[in-house]
Amino acid sequence: MRLASLIAVLASVFAAPVVACGQDTDCRVGDRIYRISLPEGHNAGDPIGAVLWSHGYRGSAEGVMRNGSLRKMVHDQGLALIGMQGIDGSWNLPNGPGTMDSTGAEEFAYYDAVIADAVARFNIDADHLVASGFSAGGMMVWNLACARPETFAGFVPISGTYWLKPPETCAMPVASIVHIHGDDDSTVPLDGRRIGETKQGEVSEALASYATHGKFAEPAKDTTAMLRCEERSNATGAILDFCLFEGGHSFRTEYLGHGIDRLRAAGQL
């Protein structure tokens, strides 16, 4: 009887499913991974929107999940947080150092795959997705806004823009973008800087290019306790905001919160 009981226990252990991925465990898609954190008490049967966060240079999805302030802010917004993972902590972007010939297609396919996987595994609502990220992650977000505007409700790039220059054309429909940047950033300056064979792009050029692409109106100024903003909109209801904070190359979760609030106020999220 004891032997039979032991066999039953062992059988149940080895038949148990692999531990599900999530905040502390990698979710694998092909040869890439991501991590995800859902609000406490969330009912797995209910669809939920998400912020797909792209880390800065040498960052990781694991590092994203260690940011308790970021997780809390996103959860308080009623959204899941998805930590994306660049290859060796970097993003394969057009005109980047060592990736001058890249089209970004490899990264765009990775984001497509993560979204499909998260929808299937976690009932993520594909109609309520925000792409955001800091520094090199902000560069990733600008490229997504140009190449995958229909995939996201909006984009909140922070302290990052295109390498070298904006693309010649962007896909339709026009996206909603809230760009946030430090007014004294020396790591990713507003006017860019040379790095190896390439250059960080100028934020003003990215904004001007997208304003033309989306037929955005002239900007109106708005000031909050944290940010000095120029806000534009177009006939479709999309928004294009440029917000500055006092300081250098840094990030506060409240900046992302502001971007999400702006997208909601515009009816995009």
Distance, CA of 155 to CA of 175 (rounded, Å): 8
Supply the pTM of this predicted model.
Answer: 0.91
- pLDDT band per the 50, 70, 90 thresholds, residue 20: confident
Share of the chain above pLDDT 90, in %: 92
Write the pLDDT tens digit of every residue in 29-46: 999 999 999 999 999 889
Share of the chain above pLDDT 70, in %: 93
Give the CB-side neighbour count of residue 31, counting CA atoms within 13 A.
Answer: 4
The mean pLDDT of 218-231, rounded to a whole number, is 96
Write the pLDDT tens digit of every residue in 105-115: 999 999 999 99
Distance, CA of 27 to CA of 24 (rounded, Å): 10
What is 91-158 written as a DSSP string? ---TTBTTBTT--SHHHHHHHHHHHHHHHHHH-EEEEEEEEEEETHHHHHHHHHHHH-GGG-SEEEEE
The phi, psi pair for 233, rounded to 5°, reads -145, 165
Distance, CA of 165 to CA of 139 (rounded, Å): 11
Nearest to 176 by CA among 234, 123, 98, 135: 234
Contact present, 217 and 237 (Cβ < 8 Å): no
Query: Which domains, ranges and CATH numbers included, belong to the chain?
Result: 27-265 (3.40.50.1820)
The mean pLDDT of 153-160, rounded to a whole number, is 98
- The tokens for 136 are 């090199």
**Beta bridge mates, 83:** 35, 53
Write the pLDDT tens digit of every residue in 49-93: 999 999 999 999 999 999 999 999 999 999 999 999 999 999 999
The phi, psi pair for 88, rounded to 5°, reads 55, 35
